[in-house]
Amino acid sequence: MEKEQQIAGGVTWVVEHAGIRVFGPLATSVRFIPYPEAAVWDFLSRGYAPGVIASNLGQLDRRLGANAPSWVASVLQGWSDDGILVGGAD
């Protein structure tokens, strides 16, 4: 069973013109997330499940199409590896 992924405690962000700037719990931990990855962050921050995010993005961006679920999973895994997300598969 998959656990819900969520933004890690102490992580904050601001929306910018070309994406989202994420600040980690440490003052030196700053990351810029450009679009289309920023759309994944936006949906996740609003509580959408990865499957719903993939479905929505697949419809919004035809280039993703059938690859949307694996692309979203890859984006989320990268953020989990970087420590800005918690939760996920057991």
pTM (two decimals): 0.86
- Coil, helix or strand for 88? coil
Give the separation between CA 46 and CA 17, rounded to whole angstroms: 19
**Per-residue confidence in pLDDT tens, the chain, 90 aa:** 355 889 999 999 999 999 999 998 765 678 999 999 999 999 999 999 999 999 999 999 889 889 999 999 999 999 998 889 998 654
Q: Return the domain boundaries, the chain.
A: 6-85
Residue 90: per-residue pLDDT? 44
Residue 14: per-residue pLDDT? 96
Strand order in the sheet with 12-16: 12-16, 19-23, 30-34
